[in-house]
Structure 1
């Protein structure tokens, strides 16, 4: 997915830039309006009939638009096709982080062409995979591939619009969100769900059990309704949907023993959700934030700006979460927790291990 280094100088204001921006804004808006959630519970045949044509349309439009932008800003659109090595699923995070890296590389004045090249290449590869979907596949495999196609369109073109506006002196119209910000929001939502599951301990009565499971069901419904839901891993979404269905079934016939087993399964799932903090971008972010906070904790009180920054770590660790929740100011209460967490990340108080 690489292209030869370019020596492009800043373009200034290209007369075609505004037109490209409006095409990008329109495509991203249309793509965001495709609601994949309602297809997660449908049979594969209906998903292919109802959702597949919409995704194919967006991928075709995105590939054509990316090639137009590339031809205008680089004159090398022919190089954007014919790349035959599709990105493997485990490389998806690398793709998103690579896009982020280009967006924030202000010294690179060929960012528009570079992002257009990436978009044309990746969307073309994704188009080939989507065209290969068929009725014999599992529903979630189909939904996952189609959802991935929609996310690629949104990610690449929000990034491209951001850079195009910056390079060409235009007012950005789309909100670009880095992979770090997306992962932080996923962690926030998972933390809320985990706290809803944990509640205030084991329910002591049937009434308390009903209230707990109903509350968890409500929290799950709220998560599914949030924009970040489609950014969750397919495996997590599958389990969330299964648990939601079990909760709804149990509420229609609330048997106490069955309810407690269901709650135990939810607790186990909540523990798995905590592993979101192992994402590469979160590990790097958390390490930097912990290091900065530890260096600032040498006095009697934690600086106010550090307390605000530490709120972004909510959900990383129960002891840290408690300090954040109580707005603890005393630095000596923070230091051992910060040192322990740095050690768990493979980073001791003396310095980073990478």
Structure 2
């Protein structure tokens, strides 16, 4: 039987790790099953992933050195320099994944500590980190290998970007809902928290909610319960503190802009957008083409969103876009800037 190609192996590993559904174990009563079944399963997939990456790296090194090529290699005319980027991707993925596996193995060896659901949060967070690292790392290697071999990627169905874009719009809608509540009910914490409770329930009920990190999902559920509890007492001072915590949670959610796939997407979009803005009349609103590109980065920067939605002139929009571009290329955090914008000033 012909051995499975590395592409097929990588795609299979990605499918395995993504098939692990954590939502079940976020509920009380499943801690033992998490330790008995899920941790060993994830550990096994992670170890096989490391073995596959190491094997692929060694095979690529052998091809570069002129050794006998593996059965899957059908590009004898390829320049050896073309192999190096894929080897680098293998190395980077292994470096990121190995310490996560070690943490996972330590958790598995300790077992449940008898504290009920609390003992599951640590392993759940570790499993989630492993899922993210494996998916990102293996997809990058598989895509690089596909390009090297002149083949179609077998992981195109793993649309990390689409999931992140949908999640960003979901969290933006949540944040704007809170902003509207602040504007409409500045003196009534009861009305604001009633709106906040509704928004949190809707957030949790959306399909995109599962694409948020576990810590964010746990915090959302905790805030939902605390908002419901507040209506039993309706203490105004406690309500204002709770409102500030909900506000802080909304800002925290905006940090999903730090996901690598969103940074790459937004950087490319802004790179295409700047020349389009240069063709627009500075003292007129941006063109339809520019607005179409701006819509693709909705949620990246609140100030830019405000300018676009209030009909600002091209000159002002272009200035903010250049700021966004500089922040993306220099590695500065635009999301941290959002946190210092007065909450009532964020556009609806």
Q: Deviations over 1:261-308 (max 9, x none)?
A: 533431233244445557787498287477546534445452322111
- Residue 321 of structure 1 is matched in structure 2 by 305
- Call closer, same or farther: CA 1:317–1:228 in 2, change over 3 Å: same
Quote the residue 1:74 is aligned against: 61
- The aligned counterpart of 1:303 is 287
* Partner of residue 153 from structure 1, selected from 134, 138, 141: 134
Structure 1 residues 315, 353: CA separation in 2 closer, same or farther (over 3 Å shift)? closer
Q: CA deviation at 1:176?
A: 7.6
Where does structure 1 lack aligned partners over 5 or more consecutive residues? 1-14, 77-106
TM-score, normalization by structure 2:
0.66
1:163-182 map, 5 Å: 163-175=144-156
Report the number of matched residues. 298
Structure 2 residue matching 1:51: 3-state secondary structure: helix
Q: Is the 8 A contact 1:287 1:345 kept in 2?
A: yes
- Superposed CA RMSD: 4.2
Instruction: Say if 1:32 and 1:154, in contact at 8 Å, map to a contact too.
Output: yes
Contact 2:166 2:208 in 1 (8 A): no
2:196 to 170, 192, 213: 213
**Alpha-carbon displacement from aligned partner over 1:315-345 (angstroms, at most 9, x marks no partner):** 244453244446x4xxx62322442564588
Structure 1's 122 and 213: CA in aligned 2 closer, same or farther, altered over 3 A? closer
> Which residue pairs with 2:179 in the alignment?
198
Q: Given the two structures, how large is their TM-score scaled by the length of structure 1?
A: 0.65
After TM superposition, give the deviation of residue 309 of structure 1 in Å: 1.1
Q: Secondary structure at the residue paired with 1:64?
A: helix
Pairwise CA distance, 1:25: 2.0
Shift of 1:32: 0.8
Is residue 228 from structure 1 mapped to residue 215 from structure 2 by the alignment?
Answer: no
Indicate how the Cα distance of structure 1 residues 205 and 310 shifts in structure 2: closer, same or farther if over 3 A, else same: same
1:1-354 to 2 correspondences below 5 Å: 19-42=5-28, 46=32, 47-75=34-62, 108-133=82-107, 134=110, 135=112, 139-175=120-156, 186-200=167-181, 201-203=183-185, 212-222=195-205, 225-226=208-209, 228-230=211-213, 234=215, 236-250=216-230, 253=232, 255=234, 257=236, 261-274=241-254, 282=263, 285=267, 288=271, 291-292=274-275, 294-299=277-282, 300=284, 302-325=286-309, 328=311, 333-340=313-320, 342=322
Change (3 A) 1:248 1:158: farther
